[in-house]
C-alpha cells in the first residue's frame, strides 16, 4: 500500500473581491495537490508493473490536516505489518520546533516502522 497524504492549503479570509480571489486560489491549490497525487500514483503503478508487482499494490490518497495522524490511521485501517517511509533530513533543532511526520508515525503507529534517510549527495561522506 502506497499512501500519499497532503495537507490542504491554508484558508485566507476576505470580503467581496478578495474572498472570490481567495476561493479561486484555494481551489487551484487543492487541484494542484490532487494532480500531484495522481501523477505520483501513475508513476508508482508504472514502477510496480516494471517490477511485476502490479497485482500486489494499492495507492491511497488523502487530503487532511496532519500527515502523521493520517498515515497512522491508514496503517490501522489496512492492518499493515510494516510502515516504510522517508524523511527530509531536517536537523534536530528544526525538527524539534517544527515536528516531523516520521517522528510522529514512529511514536504513534505501534507497529514496526522503518524511516529511510535521504540519499547523501554524491561525494559526501
Per-residue confidence (pLDDT) for residue 11, from 0 to 100: 67
- In this prediction, what percent of the chain has a pLDDT beyond 70? 80
- Give the pTM: 0.74
At residue 18, does pLDDT exceed 60? no
Q: Could you read off the pLDDT of 105-125 as tens digits, one per residue? A: 999 999 999 988 878 777 766
Is residue 13 packed enough to be buried (19+ CB in 10 Å), middle (13-18) or exposed (0-12)?
exposed
DSSP element (H, E) containing 2: strand 2-6
Domain ranges of the chain: 1-63, 66-124
* Residue from 59, 67, 63 nearest 42 by CA: 59
Tallying the residues shown for the chain, one arrives at 125
Residue 107's Cβ-side half-sphere holds a number of Cα atoms within 13 Å equal to 6
Q: In DSSP terms, which residues pair with 7 in a beta bridge?
A: none
pLDDT in tens, 39-56: 988 898 899 889 988 787
Q: Considering the domain 66-124, what is its CATH architecture?
A: 3-Layer(aba) Sandwich (3.40)
Amino acid at each position: 500500500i502506497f499512501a500519499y497524504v497532503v495537507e490542504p492549503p491554508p484558508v485566507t479570509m476576505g470580503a467581496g473581491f478578495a474572498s472570490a480571489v481567495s476561493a479561486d486560489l484555494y481551489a487551484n491549490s487543492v487541484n494542484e495537490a490532487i494532480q500531484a497525487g495522481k501523477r505520483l500514483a501513475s508513476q508508482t503503478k508504472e514502477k510496480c508493473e516494471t517490477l511485476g508487482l502490479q497485482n500486489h499494490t494499492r495507492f491511497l490518497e488523502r487530503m487532511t490536516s496532519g500527515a502523521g495522524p493520517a498515515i497512522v490511521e491508514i496503517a490501522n485501517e489496512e492492518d499493515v505489518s510494516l510502515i516504510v517511509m522517508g524523511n527530509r533530513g531536517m536537523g534536530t533543532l528544526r525538527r524539534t520546533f517544527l515536528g516531523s511526520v516520521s517522528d510522529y508515525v514512529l511514536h504513534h503507529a505501534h507497529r514496526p516502522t522503518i524511516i529511510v534517510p535521504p540519499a547523501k549527495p554524491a561525494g559526501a561522506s
